[in-house]
Structures are given as C-alpha cells and as structure tokens.
Amino acid sequence: MSDNEFLYQREQRLEVEQEWEQEVRNSEKGLRYKAASSGQRTKPWFSKIKFDGRKFITICRLRFHHNHLNGHLYRLKMVKPPNCDCGVEEDANHVFFGCERREAQTTELHLDLMNIGQQPPFNEDIRVLRLLNKLQNANGTSYPARTTTAF
C-alpha cells in the first residue's frame, strides 16, 4: 500500500468516525447508554480488570440500568407502577443510595466507598461498581445465573 493510499484510508476512517459521533450526539435514542458511556474507546473499559463473567454482566447491567428493579421493568411494560415499596421510583440509584428500607446497607456501602477514597457523587470506577455489585447481591436484585422464563 502506498503512502497516499494509507493517508486516504486514514482520512476516510476519520471522516466516518466524525459523522458517526455527530449522529450519535444528535440522536434521541440511547440516552441512557450515552450517559453511561464516555465516548469512543479503542479498548473496552474492562480490558485491564480481572473478574468472572457473572460480575462483568452484573456491572454492565448496573451501568446501563438493565436490572430487575421496577423502574426498568416498568419501561419494558412488565410491571405497574415503577415504584419501590417505599413509594419512590425504584432504580439503582434509589436502591443503593436513597431507599429508607435499605438504610443500614446504604450506610455500609457509603463507608466502604469512603474507605476506597470515593466521595459522592460516585463515578464508574471499577471499585465503586464492585461495591454496588456486592450490595445488589445482598438486596437480591441481581440477575440469576440463567433466566429461562419470563418474569
């Protein structure tokens, strides 16, 4: 391949990437995904992290709000209403940080997060996600190993 061909291909690839990024920015679809992802990456966010497949799946579901909580199930038209037993819309942020029914677990989570140097508002640091995964398992809101029937 000549230098000119290489430069042309590189220029074309950059142009396509820029068009795609513009289209994604202007799209109304996938707003939750856009909020959870941080732009284009050449390597996946988990490339330097070692953990088993179940934890990886749970962490991805936490990041993209795909879970067994009423807020998500309501959007899928599987439950009515989307509220927690305490009356507030049940999403991961509510379960982990705001539900009065889970106050003891939330306090423990906050202490664990502070012990690893994290202060609110929390981010997507893998250590934070692992602690959220721990609380999700304690709350019984994680996915089973395999689901073979509808909810």
On the 0-12 / 13-18 / 19+ scale of CB atoms within 10 A, 143 is middle
Q: 4-60 pLDDT, tens per residue?
A: 888 888 888 888 888 888 887 777 776 666 665 655 666 777 777 777 778 888 888
Predicted confidence (pLDDT) at residue 151 exceeds the cutoff of 70: no
CB 49 within 8 A of CB 126: yes
Structure tokens at 44: 């996946």
pLDDT of residue 147 exceeding 60? no
* Token digits of residue 4: 């000119």
Domain boundaries, the chain: 1-38, 51-145
Task: Specify the pLDDT at position 70.
Answer: 92
CA distances from 59 to 6, 27, 113, 126 (A): 39, 25, 16, 9
Give kind and range of the element (H or E) at residue 109.
helix 103-115
Q: What is the pTM of this model?
A: 0.52
Q: Show the tokens assigned to 133.
A: 């995964």
Tell me if 119 sits within 8 A of 127, measured CB to CB: no
> Which one, of 46, 69, 49, lies nearest residue 136 by Cα?
69
Q: Quote the CA–CA distance of 29 and 19 in Å, as a whole number.
A: 16
Residue 78 has a pLDDT of: 94
Q: How far apart are CA 2 and CA 66, in angstroms?
A: 47
Question: Using one digit for the tens of pLDDT, what is the confidence trace for 58-105?
Answer: 888 888 888 889 999 999 999 999 999 999 999 888 888 888 898 888
pLDDT of 123 higher than 70: no
pLDDT at residue 114 in the model = 85
